[in-house]
């Protein structure tokens, strides 16, 4: 089994920065895609950013130019550097990973418990 643990959330003023981390552990053979999603009150969950094992990235239009996703494959960890934060970025941020376990060959989605990001004006 696989566990994802997020960290780095908190309260920040508009214009500030936060860096989220998500570490995957367990019976991992490979992680093809890791990403961040968020859900704000009254809204559906939305993709924020994803990154493949090869480093290809995709971002939501709302965060392009402000957020940067990266990963350390050796540590099975994904990061989200969030700059120029806006109040509308306030949400619970969830880490997601598409994992092939050591018992293979199927790929499964795993989710973290979420970390709260609150941006005040």
Pairing of strands 57-59, 67-72: unpaired
Given this model, what pLDDT does residue 102 score? 87
| Segment-wise mean pLDDT, segments of 10 residues, the chain, 121 residues | 95 98 95 97 96 96 98 95 98 96 88 97 92
Given this model, what pLDDT does residue 5 score? 96
Residue 72 CA to residue 78 CA, distance in Å, equals: 6
Given this model, what pLDDT does residue 53 score? 93
CB neighbourhood size of 42 (10 A)? 5
CA angle 31, 1, 82 (to 5 degrees): 45
Q: Are 94 and 112 in contact (CB under 8 A)?
A: yes
100 alpha-carbon distance from chain centroid: 18
């Amino acid at each position: 089994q696989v566990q994802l643990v997020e960290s780095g959330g908190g309260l920040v003023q508009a214009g500030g920065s936060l860096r989220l981390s998500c570490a995957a552990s367990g019976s991992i053979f490979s992680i093809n895609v890791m990403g961040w999603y968020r859900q704000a009150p009254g809204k559906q969950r939305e993709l924020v950013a994803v990154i493949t094992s090869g480093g290809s990235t995709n971002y939501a239009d709302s965060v392009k130019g402000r957020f940067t996703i990266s990963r350390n494959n050796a540590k099975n960890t994904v990061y989200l550097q969030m700059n120029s934060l806006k109040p509308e970025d306030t949400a619970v941020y969830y880490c997601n990973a598409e994992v092939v376990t050591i018992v293979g060959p199927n790929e499964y989605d795993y989710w973290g418990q979420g970390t709260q990001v609150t941006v005040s004006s």
